[in-house]
């Protein structure tokens, strides 16, 4: 009986040692924290973890030495993504527990984004489509940059990216990664960006907007139907909007209160607001400070 117990203890010790050694190369996903539970090791890009019955199950990860892997919350590398290098014993620390649906190896010189403890919003701009080429990371408001962006990874949070300085020009609000910015009409240069939800008298230095500035929101295209005029910051409204008249200044219009959600920057009249992908209800708006 004693020999049997000793033999069983040895087997458990070997099994524990074997589990500690799992994950020599590629990416290894574990169902439980501290590299426990069910496990799957992947050597190739995997756009859909459902093929391995491991969708939204990973709680800890091991990555092979010198390797970097991008993990994403949706299949086909969509949604929010982060790049992992080394081991993660508890993905709850990053806010990524039971979220991963696709993984792929990072090739070339793409840096690991600074996602800092799971609580900091960040975004990465790439000089080539499909997250290739030179990469630049940002985790704060940038009012005057000049960065080539052919694709974008949203590591965490919701971001507004614009083709003009100080959040002017063509702007888009992103919650998911974009493999080709041309598909969103952003061109190839980003000159300002910011995490959404920042509220204040002005997102950057400068005099207050002219009190004579105003915008009028119409519930029909081509400035028809019911029109409502707004001046100054409006953190909580609810207006169906199919067209806009801008009488001075640059304005942020958003589909959620307090200048959050999906936002669009406008500085000219817009006869058909449907060209923007933020729906037809505006719930907050504000003028931007002049450049």
pLDDT for residue 116 = 41
Judged by phi (left if over 0) then psi (alpha if -120 to 50, else beta), residue 21 lies in alpha
Contact present, 31 and 61 (Cβ < 8 Å): no
79-83, 130-134, 143-147, 196-200: which has the minimum mean pLDDT? Answer: 196-200
d(CA 188, CA 186): 6
Q: Do domains 22-107 and 117-195 have the same CATH topology?
A: yes
Measuring CA to CA, which residue among 44, 94, 99, 92 is closest to residue 69?
44
In this predicted structure, the answer to whether residue 41 has a pLDDT above a threshold of 60 is: yes
Report whether pLDDT(59) > 90: yes
For the segment 258-277, what is each residue's pLDDT rounded down to a tens digit? Answer: 888 778 888 778 888 887 77
Q: In 3D, which of 265, 249, 269 has the Cα closest to residue 169?
A: 265
Fold of 117-195: Gamma-B Crystallin; domain 1 (2.60.20)
Q: Evaluate if residue 50 carries a pLDDT over 90.
A: yes
Q: pTM (2 decimals)?
A: 0.42
For residue 239, is it left (φ>0), alpha (ψ between -120 and 50) or beta?
beta
Instruction: Identify the weakest region by mean pLDDT among 87-91, 113-117, 196-200, 214-218.
Output: 113-117
Strand 284-287 and strand 251-256: pairing? antiparallel
Any residues with CB less than 8 A from the CB of 244 and at least 6 apart, and which? 215, 216, 217, 218, 253, 266, 269, 270, 273
pLDDT at 237: 94
| SS3 at position 165 | helix
Q: Which CATH class is domain 214-287?
A: mainly beta
pLDDT digits (tens, 9 = 90+) for 231-260: 889 999 999 999 998 887 788 898 888 888
Q: What is the mean pLDDT of residues 160-167?
A: 81
Share of the chain above pLDDT 90, in %: 20
pLDDT of 230: 92
Which pLDDT value is given to residue 182?
A: 83
| Nearest one of 263, 256, 245, 155 to 203, comparing CA atoms | 263
The domain segmentation of the chain, as residue ranges, is 22-107, 117-195, 214-287
- Does 148 have pLDDT greater than 70? yes
Higher pLDDT, 231 or 291: 231
Pick the closest to residue 61 from 80, 79, 88 (CA basis).
88
Name the residue among 77, 159, 93, 87 with its Cα closest to residue 122. Answer: 159
Question: CA distances (Å), 225 to each of 72, 219, 284, in order?
Answer: 44, 6, 20
Determine the Cα–Cα distance for residues 172 and 266; give it in Å rounded to an integer. 11
Identify the pLDDT of residue 288: 76
Q: What is the pLDDT of residue 209?
A: 54
pLDDT at 60: 93
CATH architecture of 22-107: Sandwich (2.60)
């Amino acid at each position: 009986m004693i020999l049997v117990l000793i033999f069983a203890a040895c087997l458990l010790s070997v099994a524990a040692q074997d589990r500690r050694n799992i994950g020599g190369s590629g990416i290894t996903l574990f169902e439980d924290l501290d590299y426990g539970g069910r496990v799957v090791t992947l050597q190739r890009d995997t756009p859909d973890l459902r093929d391995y019955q491991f969708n939204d199950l990973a709680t800890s990860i091991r990555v092979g030495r010198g390797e970097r892997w991008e993990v994403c919350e949706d299949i086909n590398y969509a949604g929010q993504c982060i790049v992992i290098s080394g081991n993660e014993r508890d993905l709850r620390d990053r806010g990524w527990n039971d979220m991963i649906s696709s993984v792929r190896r990072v090739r070339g010189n793409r840096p690991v984004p600074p996602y800092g403890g799971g609580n900091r919003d960040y975004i990465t701009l790439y000089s080539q489509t499909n997250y290739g080429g030179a990469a630049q990371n940002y985790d704060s408001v940038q009012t005057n940059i000049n960065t080539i962006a052919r694709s974008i990874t949203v590591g965490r949070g919701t971001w507004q990216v614009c083709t003009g300085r100080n959040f002017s020009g063509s702007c888009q609000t992103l919650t998911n990664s974009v493999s080709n910015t041309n598909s969103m009409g952003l061109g190839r240069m980003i000159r300002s960006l910011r995490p959404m939800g920042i509220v204040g008298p002005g997102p950057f230095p400068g005099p207050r907007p002219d009190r004579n500035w105003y915008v009028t929101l119409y519930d029909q295209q081509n400035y028809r139907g019911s029109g409502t005029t707004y001046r100054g910051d409006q953190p909580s409204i609810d207006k169906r909007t199919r067209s806009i008249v801008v009488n001075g200044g640059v304005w942020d219009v958003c589909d959620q209160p307090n200048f959050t959600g999906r936002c669009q920057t406008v500085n000219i009249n817009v006869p058909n607001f449907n060209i923007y992908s933020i729906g037809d209800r505006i719930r907050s708006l504000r003028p931007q400070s002049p450049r």
